[in-house]
Amino acid sequence: MTAPSTHTAKPATGIVALLKSAFINALIALVLFSLMVGIRTEAGHDGQLTYWTRFGELASLVAIVFGGSIVIELFRQWIGPTGAEKLVPPAVRNGMSFLGRYLAPALLIFTLLVPVIFYNQRYILDLAILVLTYVMLGWGLNVVVGLAGLLDLGYVAFYAVGAYSYGLLATNFGWSFWICLPLAGILAAFWGVLLGFPVLRLRGDYLAIVTLAFGEIIRLVIINWQDLTGGPNGVSGIPRPSFFGIPLDNSDDGLAAKLGIEYSATHRIVFLFYLILALALLTNWVTIRLRRLPIGRAWEALREDEVACRALGINTTTTKLTAFATGAMFGGFAGAFFATRQGFISPESFTFQESALVLAIVVLGGMGSQLGVALAALAMIGGFELFRSLEGYRMLVFGMAMVLIMIWRPRGLIGHRAPTVYLTKAKAISSDLVKEGHG
């Protein structure tokens, strides 16, 4: 990329090839559509065939195919899997690398400011809370699927365990959210280990089937254990979270009264927003820290090659169990948050569709990439809302978008994996070491 000639010479042939393929596509479209669109036939008054030409429509269709194939090809060459030759102009490439460096901090700052910017738009705040919940679930599942490579189709089970832990402890014993939150995490982690034991020997498809069944078992137990869980009626009247003991309501003890400001229902929403943001960031921070520790490296090595792991002295049993437990714990935290936000939980909230959605977020985001998962959660949940007007076609659009992303970005939106080990000191390599060996 240093020599200027590469900029001028190579794209020229690329553009010719581009136009050529677009021209061929347009020609095929012309042949196909000339009869299908170009000539319109109808039965006339006396049953005879009448026809007339529609060259205008034909021309516009062919033009769309021509332009579209150029756009698609450019799109593929710019952001697609690394091809032999890239047409990306340097300006665009620089822009993209700039974007890559500052996207995460910019997103974080924007997220912190969301309640300030959209203070009066309840809908957007609710949507943001929902997105953040899925970001957290995605990051939690990312530990299991993205790092340890254990395909878990029953992640919603831990979400449910967390939600019911908080719901039941709070309604039966009146325990506060801040006591129940770690308990919900611990209980979910316990169930994670419980799931982990039977699946230790399983891999790939078999593992997926068992975890899928586990998710269903938890849901069915919740439905049928009516004495404890209320069955299909769910648990209602779950207490709202308090600001470390100070309730966020209209009473005289409320936070608004104590601060001497006017009460608004939005205060609670904003508090919930920052609560889930803090929980999600905690998940992210813990994951990033763990990746740099031997246990995190062991998870990733386990994903790559289990046999090699054992030969290197890694206890694969504890490694898998800790991955399940850690992922489940974050699912449990998210579940407790879900319960306190909704105030009501029922088994309907914990169907397989939730597991599939969270898994889709992780896969779409790029397995193991924290930023990718966050972007995918935003795209999936936000996009879902965006296409609400399309109603029946929503799932169709969605499915198509996912297929396209998997074609162009098979490793997910962000397939890049940041290394975790660096040389302690940049030592100069003496030349006698380097000159040997050309294999």
Half-sphere exposure of 36 (CA within 13 A, CB side): 9
Half-sphere exposure of 426 (CA within 13 A, CB side): 0
Q: Which residues pair with 235 in a beta bridge?
A: 345
Tell me how far, at minimum, the Cβ of 424 lies from another protein, in Å: 6
307 lines the binding site for another protein (CB under 8 A): yes
- One character per residue 314-343, x = contact with another protein (rule: CB under 8 A): xxx---------------------------
Tell me how far, at minimum, the Cβ of 292 lies from another protein, in Å: 10
Tell me how far, at minimum, the Cβ of 428 lies from another protein, in Å: 11
User: Which range binds another protein by CB under 8 A, 29-37, 46-54, 62-70, 309-317?
Assistant: 309-317
Instruction: Report the residue from 67, 95, 294, 410 that binds another protein according to the rule CB under 8 A.
Output: 294
Tell me how far, at minimum, the Cβ of 417 lies from another protein, in Å: 6
Query: What is the rounded CA–CA span in Å between residue 137 and residue 183?
Result: 18
| Rounded (10°) CA dihedral 109, 115, 121, 125 | 90
User: Which range binds another protein by CB under 8 A, 186-194, 290-298, 349-357, 382-390?
Assistant: 290-298
Nearer to another protein, 117 or 308 (CB): 308
428 lines the binding site for another protein (CB under 8 A): no
Buried b (16+ CB within 10 A) or exposed e, 192-209: beebbeebeeeeeeebbe
Nearer to another protein, 202 or 209 (CB): 202
From the CB of residue 284, how many other CB atoms can be counted at a distance below 10 Å?
Answer: 21
3 lines the binding site for another protein (CB under 8 A): no
- One character per residue 52-91, x = contact with another protein (rule: CB under 8 A): ----------------------------------------
Q: Which residues bind another protein (CB under 8 A)?
A: 294, 297-298, 300-301, 303-305, 307-308, 310-316, 417, 419-424, 429, 433-434, 436-437, 439
